Amino acid sequence: MPINSRFLRAHPAHFLALGLGSGLSPKAPGTAGTLWAWLAFLVMQPWMSDAAWAYTLVVGLVVGWWACTVTARNLGITDPSAIVWDEVVAFWLVLWLVMPAGFWDQLLAFALFRFFDAVKPGPVGWADRLFHRCVTFAQVDGQLVSTGWGWAGWGIMFDDLVAAFCTLLVMAVWRLI
């Protein structure tokens, strides 16, 4: 199934998982999703308390797990690049914890997060591989059957949370220097 605006509108899970359309970017959808997250954070920030952000992040993770699972299953791919809700929630977490921060610190957080998410060094690579093995494909009576999709959405979200942790760790060390 092609990932396009029709697919985006076909199910509420697709709309959310594809970052309200930012995941449809033909180039670097993860970067587009992270940029959308940054802009959305800055728009929402003046009206959000810490409690509201904590609630938003928890709900975003739980609903995102569902949306990413449904969308990946409907595409038949364990971690499609068009799914960017994982970047959105993880980068909101980064921004929430580094604020207040000026533009240059926010840009540094963006660059670090994109590095960790795209390159997947060390623990991020481990997290990326961990849940992808949960989805298996097999031939049953001549049909391709897959299992383990419930974990697919969590796997999609998990490596970005680890990338967020690595970003926050580097930012904390940066502030100490």
Which candidate, 128, 160, 166, 163, places its Cα nearest to that of 64?
160
Query: 89 or 147, which is more confident?
Result: 89
Residue 143 identity:
Q
C-alpha 43/C-alpha 137 separation (Å) is 42
Is residue 26 reached through a cis peptide bond, with omega within 30 degrees of 0 on the bond before it?
Answer: no
Contact (Cβ atoms closer than 8 angstroms) between residue 135 and residue 147: yes
- Check residue 149 and give its pLDDT: 58
Sign of CA dihedral 79, 84, 87, 88: negative
Q: Per-residue pLDDT averaged across 104-113, rounded?
A: 97
Q: What is the mean pLDDT of residues 118-147?
A: 73
- 130 pLDDT more than 90: no
Q: In the chain, which ranges are E strands?
A: 136-140, 143-147
With cut-offs at 50, 70 and 90, classify the pLDDT of residue 2.
Answer: confident
Per-residue pLDDT for 139 more than 70? Answer: no
User: Where does the pLDDT of residue 138 fall: very low under 50, low under 70, confident under 90, or very high at 90 and above?
Assistant: low
Q: Which is higher by pLDDT, 112 or 136? A: 112
Instruction: List beta partners, residue 139.
Output: 144
Contact present, 85 and 40 (Cβ < 8 Å): no
Confidence of residue 86 (pLDDT cuts 50, 70, 90): very high
**Cα–Cα distance for residue pair 119/99, rounded to 1 Å:** 25
CA distances, 91 to each of 65, 105, 140, 165 (Å): 16, 13, 40, 10
Mean pLDDT of 117-130: 93
pLDDT over threshold 80, residue 133: no
